Amino acid sequence: MGEFYGRYRGRILRLAAQATSDGAWKAKLREILAKFDNDCRELSASGRQLLRRELANQIDPEKRAVFGIALKHFDFN
């Protein structure tokens, strides 16, 4: 699970750092989240829940434009 955590935390942080006001980051975020969902199929239900919670807790409040969608995804899927 640590591998997934590091991979997706890094991808989301990099995307947030590169996000621009034109919103082009949204398509890339959708790609990242779809890949996340696919990769999470390898984990147990409790493992998926723990990973989502851990990732959601790492969201930087200053990056809410990108992370708002990611938070909803991690908390409600």
Give 30-70 pLDDT, tens digit per residue: 999 999 999 999 999 999 999 988 888 776 656 666 777 77
Identify which of 50, 44, 51, 49 has the alpha carbon closest to the alpha carbon of residue 4: 51
Question: How many independent structural domains does the chain possess?
Answer: 1
Cα 38 from Cα 7, distance rounded (Å)? 13
User: pTM above the 0.85 mark?
Assistant: no
Distance from chain centroid for Cα 76: 12
